[in-house]
Amino acid sequence: MKSEKGQSLVETALMVPILLFFLFGIVDFGRLLYTILTLDHAGREAARLASVHSSNAVIEARANYYITGLKLINISPPAEANRKTGTEVEIQLKYDFNFITPLADSIVSPMELSNTTVMRVE
| 25-63 per-position pLDDT tens digit | 899 999 999 999 999 999 999 899 888 877 888 888 888
Q: Which candidate, 36, 18, 16, places its Cα nearest to that of 28?
A: 36
Kindly state the average pLDDT of the residues 15-32.
92
pTM for the whole thing?
A: 0.80
Q: Could you please report the per-residue DSSP string of 29-88?
A: HHHHHHHHHHHHHHHHHHHHHHHTT--HHHHHHHHHHHH-S---SEEEPPPGGG--TTSE
Architecture of domain 5-120: 2-Layer Sandwich (3.30)
pLDDT of residue 44: 93
Kindly state the average pLDDT of the residues 70-86.
75
Question: Is the pLDDT score of 112 beyond 70?
Answer: yes
| 82-108 per-position pLDDT tens digit | 778 888 888 888 888 888 887 777 787
With 0-12 CB in 10 A as exposed, 13-18 as middle and 19+ as buried, what is 90? middle
pLDDT of residue 36: 94
